[in-house]
Amino acid sequence: MLSALAIRDVVLIDRLDLGFAPGLSVLTGETGAGKSILLDALGLALGARADSGLVRHGRDQASVTAEFDPPPGHAVDAVLAEADLDPRDGPLILRRVVTADGRSRAYVNDQPTSVTLLRRLGDALVEIQGQFDQRGLMDPSTHRETLDAFAGLAGKAAAVRAAWTAWRDARARHAEARAALDKARADEAWLRHTVEELDRLAPTEGEEQRLAETRGVLANAEAVLSAMNAAADALAGEDAGADGAVAQAQRALDRVADRAGERLAGALAALDRAAAEIQEAIAELQSAADDIEADSGRLTEIDDRLHALRDVARKHGVEPDDLPALHRATVDRLASLDAEGGGLAALAAAERRARADYLTAAEALSKGRREAAGRLDAAIAAELPPLKLEKARFETAVEPLDETRWGPDGLDAVGFRVATNPGTPPGPLSRIASGGELSRFLLALKVVLAESSTVPTLVFDEVDSGVGGAVAAAVGDRLARLAGRLQVLVVTHSPQVAAQGAHHWHVEKRTDGDSVSTTVAALDSAARREEIARMLSGAAVTAEARAAAGSLLAQSNGARAAGAGQ
C-alpha cells in the first residue's frame, strides 16, 4: 500500500508530507483547491509523463517521493530483479525529479533508474481510475490478464505459456535443421566435387612444411653437399681426421694404463665415447648425402606438389595444413545428408507434438475464459442498477485469434465492452461519452474484481461526478466495500462518499500576499462533520446540514463496525 507521499514545489504545492493508512481515504475541498494536483504529483512518482509546467513558479525543480510497503513476494520484486536493482529489505521508495527546463530523473530506493521502470513499478502498485486515464482497466491490453485473475486461471495460463515456449523452441529447432539440410542439398554437387578433388590430392598433416624444407635443401644441394663433404673429411680424413686422432690418443694411453692405476680410466672412457659419436656423425653425414643425391631429381616434382596444395587451399580459403581437416569435414557433411533427413523427420514430429500440447492447454484456458466471462458479466450487471446504470450493458468479449496471432497468452483476444443505451452495440470502455458513467463503470468492475486484484492501492478521481442522493450513497458503499480488501483513495465532491471514509483529508488553496499555495490537512471527527455539512449546504453551513452530516457519519461508522464484526 501507499504509506507516504512527499511533494516539493509542484504547481501550487510548496511543501507537503502526507501519511496514508489502509482503508478508504477521501480528499475533499472546493473546486480549484488543488485536488487534481495531488493526483498529478502521485502520477509523477508512478512514471507519468513529466511537464515543466508542474514546477512551482520561481523554483528550479519539483520532486515527488512515494513510499510503498508491498507484501513479500509482490510483483515489484520480480521487476526489481529483472532490472538488476538491489532487492528491497523494507519499504519501496519511488522518487521523481522534474527541472524547470523539463528534464526528468527517476530513482528507486535512491538508485537512479529509467522512467519506464518507474512506470512498470507504478502499474504494479497503484491503479488510478480517472475519467480519462488510460491506465488500469482503461488499457485494453490488461483485460485478458484481468479476466484470468478473476477466473482463477493462473495455473492454466502458466501451462499455456510453458507449452508455447516448448512449441516455439521445437519449431525453431525444426526450422533450423530444415534450413541446414536445404542448404546442404543445394551444395551437394559442390560437396561431391570437393571430396573428389581432395581424394585425388590426398593431403597429409604437415605436408607443406616438409615439402618446403626439402625444396629448400635441394635448391641449395651443391653448397650443402660441399659443406657435408668438408665435415666428413674433418672427421675421417686420412691425414688429420678426428677419428684417427682419437684412435691415436687411445693407443698412447692404453700402453701406460696398467701403470697409472685408475687415474686414466675417466679419460679413456671419454675417448671411447668420442670415438662412438664421431662414427655416428660420419654415418649421419653419409646418409644425408645419399638422400640429397637420391632427391636431386625430384625438385620439379616437389614444386608441382607444393603448387597443387597451395592452389587448392587458396580455392577453399584455408591454409594448406588445414586441407586434411577440410577433407574429413566435407566427407562427413555428405555422409550426414541422409542421416539429417531422418533427423528432420523426428524434429517435425516433435514440433507437431508440441503444437498439439499447446492447443490442448490453450483450448482449456479458452474454455475457462468463456465460462468466466459469463460470470463476470452477471456480477457487473448486478452492480450497475444502484449506480444509475440500469440501462447499460457490460460484455466480456472472448474472441478467437488467427493462428498467426497465437502466443504465450493463448488463442483469445479479451476485451471489456459496454453499451450505455438500449439497442446500441457494445463498444470499448473508452467510447463511453460521459466521464461520470465511465467512472461508475470502472467502480463496478473494481468491486467485482477486488478479490483477484494484485494492485494494493486504488485511486478514484471524482467517481461520483454528476450523481447525488441514493446513487452517491451507492458509490460510497462500494468504495467502502473495496477498502475492506484494498487501500482506496478517492477525490470526491459527494458528502455521501466523504462520509464513508475511514480517513478524511481536506484540500485548501490559500493566498498569502502574492503567493498562492495548496495545503492538505487531516480532519478529526468534528472537522469532518463540518466539512461534510459544507458539502451538503454550500458556503453557509446550517444546523440542519450539520445534523445531516452527523447522520451520514453515524451511518457509515455503523456500517464499518458491522463489516468489521463479520
- pLDDT tens-digit readout, 273-291: 888 888 888 787 777 777 6
Across residues 397-417, what is the average pLDDT?
Answer: 95
pLDDT of residue 436: 72
487 inside domain: no
DSSP for 18-51, written as a single string = EE--SSEEEEE--TTSSHHHHHHHHHHHTTPPP-
Residue 457 three-state SS: strand
Residue-wise over 458-488: b if at least 16 C-beta within 10 A, else e?
A: bbbbbbbbebeeebbbbbbbbbbbbbeebbb
Which one is predicted more confidently, 230 or 220? 230
For residue 3, is pLDDT > 60?
A: yes
Q: Which residue has the cell 467502480?
A: 443
- Closest residue by Cα to residue 29 from 512, 509, 464: 509
Going by pLDDT thresholds of 50, 70 and 90, the confidence category of residue 80 is very high
What are the contacts of 412-415 at 24+ separation with CB within 8 A?
412/144, 412/365, 412/366, 412/369, 413/144, 414/143, 414/144, 414/147, 414/369, 414/373, 415/140, 415/143
Separation between Cα atoms, residue 497 and residue 27, nearest integer Å: 10
pLDDT averaged over every residue in the chain: 86
What are phi and psi for residue 47, nearest 5 degrees?
Answer: 95, 15
265 inside domain: yes
Separation between Cα atoms, residue 199 and residue 186, nearest integer Å: 22
Cβ atoms of 45 and 122 closer than 8 Å: yes
For residue 367, is pLDDT > 50?
A: yes
- Overall number of domains in the chain: 1
Cβ atoms of 443 and 413 closer than 8 Å: no
For residue 356, is pLDDT > 90?
A: yes
pLDDT of residue 222: 59
pLDDT of residue 341: 64
What are phi and psi for residue 494, nearest 5 degrees?
Answer: -100, 125
pLDDT of residue 542: 86
For residue 244, is pLDDT > 80?
A: no
pLDDT of residue 40: 87
For residue 67, is pLDDT > 90?
A: yes
For residue 533, is pLDDT > 80?
A: yes
- Rounded alpha-carbon distances, angstroms, from residue 204 to 132, 198, 215, 320: 78, 11, 17, 9
Going by pLDDT thresholds of 50, 70 and 90, the confidence category of residue 5 is very high
What are phi and psi for residue 466, nearest 5 degrees?
Answer: 80, 10
Across residues 419-443, what is the average pLDDT?
Answer: 80
Write out pLDDT tens, residues 139-152: 888 899 999 999 99
For residue 133, is pLDDT > 60?
A: no
For residue 38, is pLDDT > 70?
A: yes
Write out pLDDT tens, residues 163-174: 999 999 999 999
Length of the chain counted residue by residue: 566
Cβ atoms of 434 and 101 closer than 8 Å: no
Which one is predicted more confidently, 178 or 382? 382
pLDDT of residue 339: 64
Residue 109 three-state SS: coil
Cell numbers at residue 414, please? 479479451
Cβ atoms of 520 and 505 closer than 8 Å: yes
Separation between Cα atoms, residue 325 and residue 404, nearest integer Å: 44
330 inside domain: yes
226 inside domain: yes
pLDDT of residue 464: 77
- Rounded alpha-carbon distances, angstroms, from residue 36 to 1, 30, 93, 519: 20, 11, 22, 13
Positive/negative CA dihedral, 431, 432, 436, 439 = negative
308 inside domain: yes
- Closest residue by Cα to residue 387 from 460, 453, 484, 454: 460
Write out pLDDT tens, residues 299-329: 777 888 888 889 999 999 999 999 999 999 8
427 inside domain: no
Q: Which residue has the cell 483547491?
A: 33
Separation between Cα atoms, residue 299 and residue 212, nearest integer Å: 11
What is the span of the domain harbouring residue 252?
A: 188-334
171 inside domain: no
282 inside domain: yes
Positive/negative CA dihedral, 472, 21, 483, 420 = positive
Beta bridge partners of 107: 95, 112
For residue 73, is pLDDT > 70?
A: yes
Cβ atoms of 498 and 26 closer than 8 Å: yes
Least confident of 134-148, 181-195, 372-386, 552-566: 552-566
Least confident of 116-130, 204-218, 231-245, 539-553: 231-245
pLDDT of residue 564: 58
For residue 334, is pLDDT > 60?
A: yes
Across residues 492-498, what is the average pLDDT?
Answer: 91
CB under 8 Å to 190, separation ≥6 — which residues?
none
pLDDT of residue 379: 94
For residue 17, is pLDDT > 90?
A: yes
Across residues 195-212, what is the average pLDDT?
Answer: 89
Cell numbers at residue 431, please? 467510447
Across residues 96-101, what is the average pLDDT?
Answer: 94
pLDDT of residue 132: 47
